[in-house]
Amino acid sequence: MNTPLLVAVVLVYAAIVVFLGWLGYRNTRSAADFLVGGRQIHPVLMALAYGSTFISTSAIVGFGGVAALYGMGLLWLTAANIFVGVFVAFVVFGRPTRRLGAALDAHTFPELLGRRFDSKFIQGFVGGTIALLMPLYAAAVLIGGARFLEVQLHLGYSTALLVFAAVTIAYVLFGGLKGVVYTDAFQAVLMFAGMALLLFATYGQTGGAAAHGKLTALAAKVPPALQASGHRGWTAMPALFSPIWWQLVSTIVLGVGIGVLAQPQLTLRFMTVKSGKELNRALVPGGIFILFMTGVAFLVGALTNVYFFERTGKIALAAVTDPTTGKFNVDKLIPTYTQSAMPEWFGYLFMLTLVAAAMSTLSAQFHVIGTAIGRDLYQEVAMKGAHQERTVPIAKAGIVVGFAVTLLVAFNLGGNVIAVATALFFGMCAASFLPLFVAALFWRRATKAGAVAGMLSGTVAWVVWTLLFHEKEAAAFGIAKALAGRPSLVSGTIWAVVDPLVIALPISAAVTVLASLATRPARSAAPRSAQPAA
């Protein structure tokens, strides 16, 4: 390991991050600056911050490893990310979110929903859910970066986790959202450069345009267990309605592709610009960034099978399989591939790419966790709007709490969890918050009773399906085993691999509509200029 080169690279990177965090601190003069950047963030900065927050080590390391397992079917997630996560999010949701947030003087996602329906309960429930469950997603991001440091620098896993989290929390605490946005934009540029080099280097290692034909020819090398579950090769979709098809489509493509619309840390970005025109200007750079980042991660992940097969005679999974237990860990695949295939200097550059990806997302997550605790739970719900001057100190305390919980979760999660934990959190947000969010923006007839009923029913349905029916999680919790002696109450049927989102989201939407139609709407807290269409 070239220690002087590594130290120089890390010091330059750290100096830039510290400077941008300080710049955010210098320009943070009020709670509005800390919470929503004073609603004056430049559209290009917002687009880059949105993209780098969206694309984390979960996408590059976690989903890149999953692409090595399932193949290029993950490119459907790229398509969903572009259409739903960028076009629909910016064009359909962005303007009304910004307008409603400004009209209600809302500074957080829970506050936006709570004030729209004049409900402290909604604000407290959404804020509490974020504070309780977002550490699961943050832990997945943290693990992705730590796994790369573990392989690239031969660091202990615990050390890598602590270093990642400590640097990130520093500039979120002092710089607020402005510090987060400034650093996220820088991280986005670094991520784009690193992924571009990774793409060209991978095609160079696997034969250029011929690599795709080679990957198709490897279909016969799919392990028998995967073939039995519906795997038909790395350039083909799994067999329709097979277990792998359900996991790929319902958990990964739909879970992340739809769940992005109700992500608090992303929705908040729409509330940081000063006009709807700014969102239009942010659409193109945001779309290009997300297209490139996810597309490269999934292509490279699938093509690692070609690289390893040509050099070892085995597919990529063999490189991350424990010879003692026979279990594989896809979370280590991208780090293992870059260390094996790329020169040392590229390893350092890509290390910074992943550090940037992790820190940009973690900073947004910690900021949202902190504001949920400080603004939504403490100030607005517990203190009923009193002690406004204490918003920022309590939010900073909340960030520290979120940091501690995230580390605890990261230390206790096992392997192959990055993509799964990310998809679960995205799916939970969609089931619990998306119908409520849509109603808040677009349906004036929606009532507080309907909003509460839909939110609670979606949450309960998602939790019940996760704990008792979706076999991967149900087996881990063991409740179904205690009740019925099986990993899942529906073990042995296709329902055991159907994602909770597929069940919970329709229930939440239907209950929101039916309960709203059955109850009388109260006068909304939103000014008429911010009201959705009838």
Assigned domain for 436 exists? no
Q: In total, how many domains does the chain have?
A: 1
Assigned domain for 514 exists? no
Mean pLDDT of 256-284: 79
Strands (E), 32-110: none
Out of 86-100, 172-186, 311-325, 457-471, give the one with best mean pLDDT. 457-471
* CATH number (domain holding residue 246): 1.20.1730.10
Give the span between the Cα atoms of 258 and 206, in whole angstroms.
Answer: 33
Residues 92, 225 contacting (CB under 8 angstroms): no
Give the span between the Cα atoms of 81 and 22, in whole angstroms.
Answer: 32
The pLDDT of residue 534 is: 47
Least confident among 306-310, 423-427, 485-489: 423-427
Gap between the terminal Cα atoms of the chain: 64
**Helices 157-206 and 3-26: crossing angle, nearest 10°?**
110
Q: List, in order, residues 6 or more apart from 404 with CB less than 8 Å away.
A: none
Radius of gyration of the chain (CA): 22
Mean pLDDT of 60-69: 90
Place of tokens 């067999």: 239
- Which of the pair, 253 or 149, is modelled with greater confidence? 253
Give the span between the Cα atoms of 7 and 277, in whole angstroms.
Answer: 43
Element spanning 471, H or E: helix 471-477
CA 53 to chain centre: 8
Assigned domain for 506 exists? no
Assigned domain for 533 exists? no
Give the span between the Cα atoms of 130 and 164, in whole angstroms.
Answer: 21
Element spanning 23, H or E: helix 3-26
Q: What is the DSSP letter of 92?
A: I
Backbone angles phi, psi at 231, to 5 degrees: -70, 125
Q: What is the DSSP letter of 328?
A: B
State yes or no: pLDDT of 51 exceeds 80: no
Residue 395 identity (one-letter amino acid)? A
Q: Which tokens belong to 204? A: 């160079």
Alpha helix stretches (DSSP H) within 105-156:
109-116, 120-152
Task: State the chain's maximal CA–CA distance in angstroms.
Answer: 69
Give the span between the Cα atoms of 349 and 352, in whole angstroms.
Answer: 5
Residues 179, 43 contacting (CB under 8 angstroms): no
Q: What is the pLDDT of residues 498-518, one digit of tens each?
A: 999 999 999 999 999 999 999
Which DSSP string corresponds to 228-259?
HTT---TTSPPPTTSHHHHIIIIIIIIHHHHH
Return the closest-CA partner of residue 219 out of 330, 72, 62: 72
State yes or no: pLDDT of 217 exceeds 60: yes
Element spanning 362, H or E: helix 344-371
Assigned domain for 26 exists? yes
Q: Look at phi and psi of residue 398 and say left if phi exceeds 0, alpha if psi is from -120 to 50, else beta.
A: alpha
Q: List, in order, residues 6 or more apart from 366 with CB less than 8 Å away.
A: 138, 168, 169, 172, 399, 402, 403, 406
Range of the domain at 389: 3-429
Assigned domain for 494 exists? no
| CA trace torsion 293, 295, 301, 305 (10° rounding) | -150
Q: Which tokens belong to 448? A: 């507080």
Give the span between the Cα atoms of 210 and 228, in whole angstroms.
Answer: 28
The pTM of the full predicted model, rounded to 2 decimals, is 0.83
Assigned domain for 474 exists? no
Q: What is the pLDDT of residues 456-513, one digit of tens each?
A: 999 999 999 999 999 988 998 899 999 999 999 999 899 999 999 999 999 999 999 9
State yes or no: pLDDT of 248 exceeds 60: yes
Q: Which tokens belong to 418? A: 């990055």
Task: Report the mean per-residue pLDDT for the chain.
Answer: 83
Assigned domain for 518 exists? no
Q: What is the pLDDT of residues 161-214, one digit of tens each?
A: 777 677 666 655 654 555 566 777 777 788 888 889 899 999 999 999 899 999
Q: Which tokens belong to 170? A: 């520093």
Least confident among 128-137, 346-355, 447-456, 465-474: 346-355
Query: Looking at the chain, how many residues does it have?
Result: 534
Q: Which tokens belong to 377? A: 């739970």
